[in-house]
Chains A and B, each alone.
Chain A
Amino acid sequence: MLPRLSWLMIFAVTPLAAQGLRVPYDSFTLANGLQVLVAPDHAVPVVTVNIWYHVGSGDEKPGRTGFAHLFEHIMFMGSQHVRTGEFDKLLEAAGGDNNGSTTEDRTNYFEDAPSNALPLMLWLDSDRQGFLLPEIDSAKVDLQRGVVQNERRQSYENQPYGLAQENILQRLYPPDHPYHWPVIGSMADLSAATLEDVRNFFRTYYTPNNSTMVIGGDVDTAAARALARKYFGDIPRGPAVTRTPPPAFGLDSNRVATIDDRVQVPRVYNAWHTVKAFAPDDAALDIVATILATGRASRLYRVLVYEKQIASNVVAFQDGSRIDGKFEVFSTARPGHNLPELQRVIDDQVRLLADSGPTVRELERAQNSIEADFLNAMERMGSFGGKADRLNFYNYYVGTPDYFQPDLERYRRVTAADVQRAARTYLRDAHRVVLSVVPQGKPELAVKEAP
């Protein structure tokens, strides 16, 4: 996920409660196709507006990688009735904050502000949904291009190991797959984007019928409904968005590669093609990741970092997106150790889990931690990962906004046999990307051949 601002960053996987997690909401759809969800919660006098546009980097055309995220930035540059700069100034003067972020699948925007500011928030958001283009010119595109290229420099190029993910994606997904390139895109493609691209993208994807809006927090449902209709009702419906599902694929051999970087110690990445979000084994794979590498009690941490002391960290995660998914494990060596040492442990531990499954304790521990994450996420309505954002997330991914409790139950239902089967089915020896990132001039530290 690429947020518009660097100092707000997180997407907690999820959130527990013995009596059930519920986020009550009302739903209605305007004549132009905009679906609106209203979720009242009067704990604090704050309201959030959270809009998801169903477009992400996976919709980009060849030669225009990074465009969906660049467009996200342009959405803050003013619109026909909101002069450039006024979007942020008016919100801050009302005590509000805002941000936007882009993934492979979608682009989201939120404003959080005191509840009296709701009309302002809807006026701003509707103006850029309906009337963005008159205010956008080449100079404004150029400006945000510069900002985004600096985001790429700051968050990727000037970060150790920052170019690993794009090197994994291009080896894991075939060239015509929407997840073949990173959300941030390439410098060259960002440079190539034009005002005409902005216009076409806006007309194709930034339409009421390709977006959903959650109004959450200290708000009355009837008032929110009237305001939503007032500000968004006259925005014209756009063309239906159609997408061709990418052809099925799989890795039938290992893709072993090495890149160098300005780093002190090497790091090895393993990436497998798995399943999309909410597919039957998605939750089991999350638990596989937790058992392998979340916290000091996890298997890989224990062996790599604690017992052998050959690594300084290890991370594993299942990353299920809307049309596909991947599973990654990476680990950074301690000085004096090479990546084949780490890779042997990763292979052994993945194989052990696939052969023998988890202990009862391990499974329950993982489920308890995940359940607590669900509970913690119930604390906040706004921002990224708040309840409003989750309503939009579930609505887009499973079609049921208040899917908090069923989502938690997915994890509660996972058995030891599911965990073992998921590890055995997806984390197979000869079907992965193995990427070594080594210090410049130290290729001998890399994993060189298929494990």
Chain B
Amino acid sequence: MKSIAAAILLASLIVGPLAAQVDRTKAPALGPAPALHLPALRTVTLPNGLTLAVVEMHKVPVVEVQVLVDAGTARDPVDVPGLAAFTANMLTQGAGTRGALALADEVAYLGAQLTAVSDFDAVTVRLHVPSRHLESALDLLADVLLRPQFADSEITRQRGLLATTILQQRDQPVAMASIAFPAIVLGPGHPYGHPTAGNDSTPPKLTHDRVVSFYQTSYRPNATKILVVGDITLAQAQRLFTARLGAWPRGAVTPFPHGKAPAPASRSFYLIDKPGAAQSVIRIGEPGVARSTPDYATIQVLNTILGGAFTSRLNQNLRETHGYTYGASSGFAARRLPGFFVAAASVVTAKTDSSLIEFMKELRRIRDDSVPQAELDKAKQYLTLQLPGAFETTGGAAARFRDVLVYNLPLNWYERFGPAVNAVTAAQVQRAARRYIDPDHFAIVVVGDRALIEAGIKALNEGPIVYRTMWGQPAQ
């Protein structure tokens, strides 16, 4: 160390005349952070009940459109998990007068991207296109939304591809953990308890009739909101979308499904064997909160301290202090219905038990001890000061505003978020931790090489071990 310091000192003596006086011993004091000026979200409702929400951003001549249909995976029928996602995918496999390949050809020719995917609370049909091709691309979007072909040959083809995708999930320990965890915590009957793609039983059940029937009952203008962000005005959007979607007939909308997680069991380990795995994939958590929770801002602060940022406790401990992992994190899946809380990491197999000890230590500490003021301030500043940058691109702004639409938040929600975060106290964080993070009832899911990790987990003496499949079902 000494010789290095001497070398640096010596080197610094030969610096040229440009060397300026700089005090490196302390971080420079910063001026006030720039004020938050968010682009405005303005909405209009068409006569058929379709909500149109527009954010004008004219910096780059592109437009991002997200059609948000209340036809998501939570609405999967009990006997066909995965139907919502498959139906969404089928929208782009031929529509209007174009078959699947001709549609793909035209989309690419326009320099556009057009996809349809389902998550639990909504289907998103997304179009991103240079604004000079907007009208042609919107014609394709309207075909996809209103005139999908659902050809038998395409359904058969996509069913086969889905079967391969589901088969290949066995190769991916992270996918296995992500499928098993909600099934165990929320139960397979819960609207959020099964994977969006479905399971092994799904592909044969994806018949033409089931797809058409799901589409006809779920895709309604009065169950749809369209977010348009970019080089466009509200008046222009209203004209373009009215011309294409104005005649879409309104229809009955079935209520969003109910779902209640089972009363949580006492803390248990759920071990999913993956022989030869180089790492153990860990998921720790329990049922959580809905997006509408009044504690939302507090929970964001809590999670930023615990596992939502690089310097949060879980990552600092498991990665930066111990080197057990490439990254540890946590999050609340706050959705229309209460989702779950989860803490997660992929850790080296030999340190599976040690990693679990550190996870439990941090998950207990956040409840037991009040958060120091500096750590609280850092988390609040990180959450609020990052907001302006999140709205730089059309995609970034859309990612934020879609929550306002899907979760029926006030249009000025992001203006209110900063003050709400700034008002959060250490006492509120601790109260939220004690309420929403309950180590006595954790489900601890580990996907890894059972022969190498089981004894270490048992020796932790933190709870019984049960064996599960990647679907969360009891294993043989």
Which residues of A are interface residues toward B (Cβ below 8 A)?
Answer: 5-7, 16-18, 30-32, 43-46, 80-82, 85-86, 88-90, 92-97, 112-117, 119-120, 123-124, 126-127, 130-131, 133-134, 137, 142-147, 149-151, 153-155, 157-160, 199, 218, 229-231, 233-236, 262-265, 294-297, 302, 305-306, 309, 312, 332, 334-335, 361, 364-366, 368-369, 371-372, 375-376, 378-382
Contact = CB atoms under 8 A, between A and B. Distances in A.
B358 to A, nearest CB: 14
Given A158-B278, A380-B392, 19 more contacts: A32-B18, A44-B388, A44-B392, A45-B34, A82-B27, A85-B316, A92-B381, A96-B385, A116-B34, A123-B24, A134-B4, A147-B323, A151-B326, A160-B172, A230-B22, A295-B107, A372-B129, A376-B60, A379-B60
Given A236-B11, A263-B171, A369 B378 contact: no
Contacts of A115: 34
B224 interface: no
B249 interface: no
B112 A229 contact: no
A112 B393 CA distance: 14
B47 to A, nearest CB: 34
A194 B165 CA distance: 43
Contact of A153 (B20, B157, B279, B389): B279
B171 A147 contact: no
A381 B130 contact: no
B24 A117 contact: no
A131 B32 CA distance: 28
Nearest to A161: B171
B326 A155 contact: yes
Contacts of A146: 322-324, 348
A48 B107 CA distance: 33
B17 A31 contact: yes
B16 A31 contact: yes
Interface in B7-52: 8, 11-12, 14-20, 22, 24-28, 30-35, 37
Interface in B96-114: 100-101, 104-105, 107-112
A158 B388 contact: no
B20 A234 contact: yes
B167 A264 contact: yes
B contact face: mostly helix, strand, loop, or mixed: mixed
B320 interface: yes
Given A43-B59, A45-B34, A112 B389 contact: yes
A114 B33 contact: yes
B360 interface: no
Contacts of A380: 392-393, 396
Contacts of B389: 44, 46, 95, 112-114, 382
A367 to B, nearest CB: 9
A144 B164 contact: no
Contacts of A309: 157, 160
Given A46-B392, A95-B382, A236-B15, A137 B33 contact: no
Given A92-B309, A265-B167, A234 B30 contact: no
B385 A114 contact: yes
A235 B129 CA distance: 46
B109 A368 contact: yes
